[in-house]
Amino acid sequence: MAAPSCSALGVWVRGSWQRLGDLFTFVSKPLCSTAAASRPLDAQRLAERLRAQKQEQKTKKPVPTNPVQRRVQELLRFTEQLQRVHPNVLAKALSRGLIHQDKDLVVINKPYGLPVHGGPGVRLCISDVLPVLAKMLHGHKAEPLHLCHRLDKETTGVMVLAWEKDVAHQVQELFRTRQVTKKYWAITMRVPVPSAGVVDIPIIEKEVQGQERHHKMTLSPSYCMDNGKMVRVRTSRNAHLAVTQYRVLSSTLSSALLELQPVTGIKHQLRVHLSFGLDCPILGDHKYSDWNRLAPQKLSACILKKLGLRQSKARHIPLHLHACQLTLPALQAGKEELNLVCKPPRYFVHTLRRLGLKMPSRDQNGDKEATHSGAQ
């Protein structure tokens, strides 16, 4: 690491003297007071302030020089800030990423790191700002929007909202009966074999025993190998039918861009099928890259080199799973189906370029007449 320059040192010294001057002013004023009883309280405040400054200096991290590491840290700060902003600010940001709007539906581009529903540790979520977003789009007398489906906190892309509760229930029924076509893009470690196919393996939630006991979704296959023969096993009644179509859009020796089409909608289905079914975990999936432990994803030396990262920084890599396209059947007679396409976020595109993967053309993705949103 290069030694600090004289100018930087001068700035540090001036900043330090400024802080010392502030502390001197803070201390000197109460000491000049005639109220002797206030002195112990002032000393306590001074000690707390000094401890806080010392802790701040310990936790302050240097700005990385590597552009990839800077983008990773910027995305991390962005996701943390999303939980602290005012609901009006978040609603305004969502309105800028509007994909489609009509008298029945509003379709937004869900950003990374924003949960759909509240829960433990969640300060702000999409459902919290739906009343504000409705007023921004439809005036102050507008009723709150309604959620039609959900995406994981780390997943980006197309998300459908409805103006009326009845319409929301209608769309939810379309999802439940598998009449909605959903397509995702995912950047994976390794390349699946074969390059296109269907993963039809039930999924079940289980508790992982170990140093950190936790729950994960995992495979519950209907067949297993017994003395070289494939035999059918009894399926658990808690297992859920899960079917995922996939195809490789672009690949290198160490990574691939996949198009995924889930036929069913089980929790974490795509992540489980790719990691445990195809042995190709999604880049940035720190939960499902290893069954036995909760730890940052272990990346190959080739991927680390292309991304310009060290393994110690891999924990900051976001999940590269994007809901790129959604096709809704006509909600009313005489109307056409609604085809919605959302471009991937900038970090997704940057990773494609770094890994040497090609972005599919519009013709390849079949979205010539689709509605697009801008990249995040």
Spatial neighbors of 202 by CB under 8 A, at least 6 apart, are 219, 220, 221, 222, 235, 239, 240, 241, 242
Please name which of 341, 357, 324, 316 lies closest in space to residue 156, comparing C-alpha atoms: 324
Q: Using DSSP, state whether 193 is helix, strand or coil.
A: coil
Ranges of H-type helices in the chain = 6-31, 39-59, 67-82, 87-96, 126-138, 165-176, 269-272, 301-307, 346-355, 362-365
Q: How far apart are CA 265 and CA 176, in angstroms?
A: 8
Please name which of 232, 175, 235 lies closest in space to residue 204, comparing C-alpha atoms: 235
Burial class (CB in 10 A: 0-12, 13-18, 19+), 160: buried
Please name which of 153, 158, 196, 187 lies closest in space to residue 175, comparing C-alpha atoms: 158
Please name which of 322, 338, 318 lies closest in space to residue 260, comparing C-alpha atoms: 322
The token pair at 85 is: 């902003």
The token pair at 45 is: 């405040």
152 has catalytic annotation: yes
104, 152, 200, 290: the catalytic one is 152
Name the residues annotated as catalytic: 152
